[in-house]
Structure 1
Amino acid sequence: MTYFKIKTVAIIGAGPAGMAAALQLRRFGINTLLFEQLNQNSLLKNAWRVENYLGIYPGKSGIDLLRQFQVNLIKSKIKKIDAKVEELDYNFKTKSFEIKTLGKVYYADYVIIASGTKPKLLIKKPSAAISPRLFYEVFSLLKNRKKKILIIGAGDAAFDYALNLAKYNKVIISNSANRCNALPLLKNMAQKHCNIAYFQDYKLSDIFPTAAKKKLGCLLANQQKLVYMEADYVLIAIGRLPQKDFYTRKLHMAEKRLIRDGRLFLAGDVKNNLYRQVAIAVGDGIKIAMQIFHRIGPNKI
């Protein structure tokens, strides 16, 4: 195993929060390690359209905006480590973080967690017959054409995903509750779209492969009615959880103390609960970079 002694700041996650922090730290002349986390780089790639980010009018797709951010990173000569952090721990004796990837270990004095979120699972252990057609992010489905896609969920993500897919596919949104939590703008656009159908107060009661195993059979139920439909894919959008799977048990226990001590920082979606907006994530990253700079001081870099 290779060991790297890296001074100062490591950033875990190269989405908007992580990239913004890296750019700002570079302006301060602070040495930075930015871990890409492989394909987990940002939920932004799933967004149908970003319309509330200043300077972008009339709006851009999430993937286009993400690419623009990445170009800024390249032009600023900030290199990413294309590796997934498998384990993050803190040594109170040496006052340093230990960051393990596959076959390598890095050390840092400060860490910014910008790892985003992971999906809430509707089916924890899907069968091998179901799992290839079950998704929790829309990005992998965007190249599909003339498919029927069932989306489970009733928040902004569910309706945004539906609008993203409906240009070339038939989409059904199934909301298990009797009210909708999505932004009214998204809901109204979806309800007016000829390729989107909306079922309110219908719960997914069963899912199974069809006889030909080319589609998924889905049963949607409410108190009075049972609806059967077949879908090429099922997309689950029932909420997100902070992505901290790489924490050791010791770090989980020490997290609040390290945050209080100004060693560990959380930026973007990993800490913002329902407030998953690119502008908020970027602001988090810049603010934390400034806090670290003022903590270190220009004479200690």
Structure 2
Amino acid sequence: MAKPIIMTIDDELHVLNAVARDLQAHYRKDFRIVKVGSGEEAWETVQEFKRRNDPIALFLVDQRMPAMSGTEFLEEAIKLYPETKKVLLTAYADTDAAIASINAVGLDYYLMKPWDPPEERLYPVLDELLDDWFASVPLPYEGIRVAGTQWSPHSHDIKEFFARCQIPYQWLDIERDSQAKELVTATAGAHPRLPMLFFPDGSTLMDPDRATLADKVGMKTHAQQPFYDLVIIGAGPAGLAGAVYGASEGLRTILIEREAAGGQAGTSARIENYLGFPQGISGADLTRRATTQAKRLGAELVTALEVTDVRAEDPYRYVTLSDGTELSCHALLLTTGVQVRRLPVPGIEKFEGGSVYYGAAASEAAYYQGKKVFVVGSGNSAGQGAMFLSRFASQVGILVRGDSLKATMSAYLVDQIHGTENIAVLANTEVTGVEGGERLEGVTLTNNVTKERETVSADALFIFIGAVPATGMVGDLVARDKAGFIFTGPDLKQDGQRPKGWHLNRDPFLLETSVPGIFAAGDVRHGVIRRVASAVGQGAVAVSLIHKYLETV
């Protein structure tokens, strides 16, 4: 924790040095003493300290300074530091101004010059004020701060990225926090681009793209080499397993993820049926452990970088990245998973990321304390999301198109849901309309059997209605089904014939695509069982098959 600051301000250098000398003699063990020679410079310094979130315990300010008086400085400074103690240094002729400033800025004390001896006329006054400051003011947060508005999709994206990457941050809502608004205004003017991020080193970012943000927080956003034994696209459970096994078995392995590691599983509030975790584990925690393991074993993980194109030129496979670079490799593993399916309801787009969320939105759930929310979907992700949200919301409604949850959700989750008092299951029900101004205020529910419609109040909608494969970057290179999922292994053979263009004197391996040396694992495959354990197993098996492939080239 950085030492709290005592700032002394005086335009007379000999007085400033004398005050700083006395302050250092008595307070340097517990405080950082900062001396500034003018009100204008002090105001700039205060803004810099606020950007760093450094605590200021005391302003000790000369009243009679040119351009900006002590009182004028304090009027500005308390906008950012309202709880900092304020002491004015005055000459005898300035006592009226000092008394007036008690009302103007809430002055805590004024001291007459000279203050000698400080043991009698300076330290007792400041000791009492500083003791009171320590007792009443919580020490500020030292990490990253995100300032924005609750209903901003851009703010939600930043918070969700940090939450999924398990990067601590503090949220500052400028519509609810006047100090946060003053900080943003002082830094970027009256019309900033939100969200604005403040870092402990004093630097800021305004509405950054994901690559810029990832680079700023220390993630790798560029590949270190032009060639790898194994390139893996997608850092969900299958991709992370492939990276762990590939690196551990001596393959030069790079894992490329366009968003945040974890995939769909990474957004799960609680995975309770994954082997080895009897109390369950969150998707974020499982992702963090797997990522750490892959890196420790030597895999390279690149984040916020998208693969835009894939091609094969024997004996190598190539991927083009969104930053324009190209990587080549012996073997390629596609673990791109799926992308969320959008709910086709008119007008819902304007609420997305600000009261309508795809997934559990762990970064936003706490905001809905005591509120009424709905979950759309009947799979395990929906059930896990509902259980997580029930810890915050007063009412959670699960909207299910079918007759019940039993056909599509694990039994343990169904039992938990039915045993949770503030969760209600609405069967044969679909969302057909939304309403609200800046945020969602109500939803229209339609019974798909009776066709009855009802509009009810709603504070938020969390949507889990399946997904579509993220396979656009491969184009027509590998064989896919009509929905876009990738055919692999035995599914490639038709009427006993190997896929068109297959030139090797063997059948495709179990997880191999229609192009030799390009493999697929996890949810992106055609006909796969979509479970975390299944994806992890496929990622591990894929590496074994890749070794077999490498023996043939």
Q: How does the TM-score come out when normalised to structure 1?
A: 0.86
CA distance in 2: counterparts of 1:206 and 1:108, whole angstroms: 49
Q: Percent identity?
A: 23
Aligned to 2:391: 167
Shift of 1:44: 1.8
Q: Which moved more, 1:92-101 or 1:73-82?
A: 92-101
CA distance in 1: counterparts of 2:267 and 2:319, whole angstroms: 32
3 and 160 in structure 1: CA distance in 2 versus 1, 3 angstrom threshold: closer
CA distance in 2: counterparts of 1:229 and 1:124, whole angstroms: 16
Which structure has the greater CA radius of gyration? 2
116 and 124 in structure 1: CA distance in 2 versus 1, 3 angstrom threshold: farther
Shift of 1:34: 0.8
Give ranges in structure 1 of 5+ residues lacking alignment: none
291 and 103 in structure 1: CA distance in 2 versus 1, 3 angstrom threshold: same
CA distance in 1: counterparts of 2:472 and 2:539, whole angstroms: 21
**Number of matched pairs:** 296
Give ranges in structure 2 of 5+ residues lacking alignment: 1-222, 488-498, 500-511
Q: How does 1:65-144 map to 2 (within 5 A)?
A: 65-92=286-313, 95-123=316-344, 126=347, 129-131=350-352, 132-139=354-361, 140-144=363-367
70 and 160 in structure 1: CA distance in 2 versus 1, 3 angstrom threshold: same
Q: How does 1:147-158 map to 2 (within 5 A)?
A: 147-158=371-382
Shift of 1:109: 2.7
Shift of 1:249: 4.1
Supply the AA of the counterpart residue of 1:175.
V
Shift of 1:248: 2.9
Aligned to 1:282: 536
Q: How does 1:124-273 map to 2 (within 5 A)?
A: 126=347, 129-131=350-352, 132-139=354-361, 140-146=363-369, 147-169=371-393, 170-180=395-405, 181-209=408-436, 212-222=437-447, 223=450, 225-251=452-478, 259-271=513-525
1:292 aligns with 2:546: yes
Aligned to 2:38: none
Aligned to 1:22: 243
Higher helix share: 2
Q: Helix, strand or coil for the counterpart of 1:227?
A: strand
Shift of 1:24: 1.2
218 and 273 in structure 1: CA distance in 2 versus 1, 3 angstrom threshold: farther
CA distance in 2: counterparts of 1:260 and 1:215, whole angstroms: 46
Shift of 1:273: 5.2
1:59 aligns with 2:300: no
Shift of 1:252: 5.7
Supply the AA of the counterpart residue of 1:116.
G
Q: Helix, strand or coil for the counterpart of 1:123?
A: coil
CA distance in 2: counterparts of 1:231 and 1:40, whole angstroms: 31
Q: Report Cα offsets for 1:181-226 as digits up to 9, x if no partner.
A: 22222122112212211111112121122xx534332011221633
Q: How does the TM-score come out when normalised to structure 2?
A: 0.49
275 and 250 in structure 1: CA distance in 2 versus 1, 3 angstrom threshold: closer
Q: Helix, strand or coil for the counterpart of 1:286?
A: helix
CA distance in 1: counterparts of 2:314 and 2:550, whole angstroms: 19
Higher strand share: 1
